[in-house]
Amino acid sequence: MKDLSKNYINGEWVAWSGETIDVHEAGTGQAIARVPSSDRVTMERAIAAANEAFDRWSESTLEARIKVLEQLHAGLKERAAEIAETVCREVGMPIKLATGIQAGLPATVTKTYLDMLPSYPFTEMSGNSEVQYAPVGVVGCITPWNYPLHQVILKVVPALAAGCTIVLKPSEIAPQSAYILAEILDGTDLPKGVFNLVCGLGQSVGDTLIKHPDVRMVSFTGSTRTGHLIAHAAADDFKRIALEMGGKSASVVLPDADLGAAVKGTINNCLLNSGQTCTALTRLLVPADKHDEACELAAAAVAKMTPGNPLEETTRLGPLASAQQRDKVLDYIRLGIEEGATLVAGGAEFPEGCDPNGYFVRATVFGNVRPDSRLAQEEIFGPVLCVIPYTDEADAIRIANGTAYGLSGAVWSGDQDRAKRVAGKLRTGQVFVNGGAFNPLAPFGGFGHSGLGREFGKWGLEEFLEVRALQL
């Protein structure tokens, strides 16, 4: 077992001798590492270090910040194989996908900011005013376990680029890649105190981070329930917040669409990372007269997604990240049956051929799902697809917009202009039109209970900047 009983504070690794948290391997259930269950005093020490370092870093040159990000980018690429295997073991994403996504995306996102920063207008003129974009201050970053390093990078890189200092609390379920990041940053020219890492539970160190008066912004990715608590706590101190939370995204298949392509694209998206993706297309909306055909196509597609050892190159569907998440998903599968939905494929039985101690769940498809059922309304965060019939285009749009969430979505049509028109009516932060590719330069974030603020590109940078006007 790897002993990571330490935090990274003020440019040094600080040993922790208190209680620890075991990190488990998703495919076997075995404990593979231990990290600190840090206390409030430790978090306060990290916040003080970030606050002390802010003046120097906020006044650093853009060239100095770019140099650090170049060093970070090189380190991420150099340790990509280690990052991929680490996240594969913790989260359960198959190693082939983890190499391209869990290890590849952090480097890609860092490179997009390196490309953008030299020409970004940190000052500009508006009439007789010089408008300045200034760093917001000390930023508290709280990140999830499903894409552990990617979500950290989406906060740390633009915050550093903006001139902010950082205290990071990674998920205790999948924290090891954050330690790799700290090791990389420790080898760069980043001044002491600019980046700090404290591991622990939300009710102790997380609560301290979001309520501390020296923390001027909280950037959070995770559940809507936790985001709600953060928003209330931040309001007491008028902190800036950026919240990227849950989703229940609809994939709308219009009558003139290629049904086979639409179902395949939806399944691939829905089952990515075993459904542990906030943008997963978990509701497949199809014309009522094509419902049965869509279910048959979906069943055939998931039959090829047999759960297996995530460390094997041929595995396409890995386990879930924790026993708690597995049990939650199995409860939803049982709920779907109780609610009267048709079980088309999968189910709550343990998949054959998998390690009995691993957190595996079969890819599951339900048909004839009622739009107002819990199965169709609540985020499951597992490999479960709901097929929902609709009567006409207006009905499809109503159902797609009929949840509290609004993070992602998709529209499929043989007519691109029609698809764009319908996509423009979805109350969601992004829409994939006829399988359009993900773009790391486009803004990412949600409507409604899916969040506040945006990540990626210039929008991600601007979350960490305050606007000041000098009247000349």
Structural domain boundaries in the chain: 2-245+449-471, 249-440
CA distance readout (Å), 470 to 126, 157, 214: 10, 28, 26
pLDDT band at 369 (very low <50, low <70, confident <90, very high): very high
* Residue 250, both tokens: 């609809």
DSSP 444: B
Class of 2-245+449-471 in CATH: alpha beta
Per-residue pLDDT, averaged over 52-69, amounts to: 98
379 within 8 A of 405, measured Cβ to Cβ: yes
What mean pLDDT is predicted for residues 395-420?
98
How many H-runs (helices) and E-runs (strands) does the chain carry? Answer: 16, 21
CATH topology of domain 249-440: Aldehyde Dehydrogenase; Chain A, domain 2 (3.40.309)
Q: For the chain, what percent of residues have pLDDT higher than 70?
A: 100
Q: What is 151-193 written as a DSSP string?
A: HHHHHHHHHHHHT-EEEEE--SSS-HHHHHHHHHHHTSSPPTT
> Could you give the 3-state DSSP secondary structure of residue 370?
coil
Angle at 298 between CA 444 and CA 342, to 5 degrees: 105
Percent of the chain clearing pLDDT 90 (strictly above): 100
**Residue 264 corresponds to which amino acid?**
K
Query: For residue range 182-199, what is the model confidence (pLDDT) as tens digits?
Result: 999 999 999 999 999 999
Do 71 and 187 meet the contact criterion of CB atoms below 8 Å apart?
yes
Average pLDDT for 408-413? 98
* Tally of CB atoms within 10 A around 8: 23
End-to-end CA distance of the chain: 62
Q: Could you tell me the two tokens for 204?
A: 């102790």
Average pLDDT over residues 278-292: 98
Average pLDDT over residues 165-191: 98
Instruction: Specify the pLDDT at position 135.
Output: 98
Crossing angle for the helix pair 176-186 and 80-91, nearest 10 degrees?
A: 160
Two tokens, residue 317: 């569907």
Residue 439 to residues 76, 101, 105, 297: CA-CA distances in angstroms? 20, 13, 11, 28
Q: Which residues belong to the active site?
A: 244, 278
Question: What average pLDDT does the structure give for the chain?
Answer: 97
Does the model's pTM come out above 0.75? yes
Contact 412, 437 (CB under 8 A): no
Spatial separation of the C-alpha atoms in residues 85 and 230, rounded to whole Å: 32
Confidence at residue 79, expressed as pLDDT on a 0 to 100 scale: 98
Instruction: Supply the pLDDT for residue 197.
Output: 98
Tokens representing 193 are: 């105190």
Q: How far apart are CA 97 and CA 371, in angstroms?
A: 32
pLDDT number for residue 113 = 98
For residue 166, report the phi and psi dihedrals to the nearest 5 degrees: -135, 140
pLDDT at 127: 97
The Cα–Cα gap between 206 and 294 comes to 44
pLDDT of residue 297: 98
194: nearest Cα among 173, 153, 163: 163
Taking each helix axis from N to C end, the angle separating 62-78 and 148-162, rounded to the nearest 10 degrees, works out to 160
In the structure, what pLDDT confidence band is assigned to residue 416 with cuts at 50, 70 and 90? very high
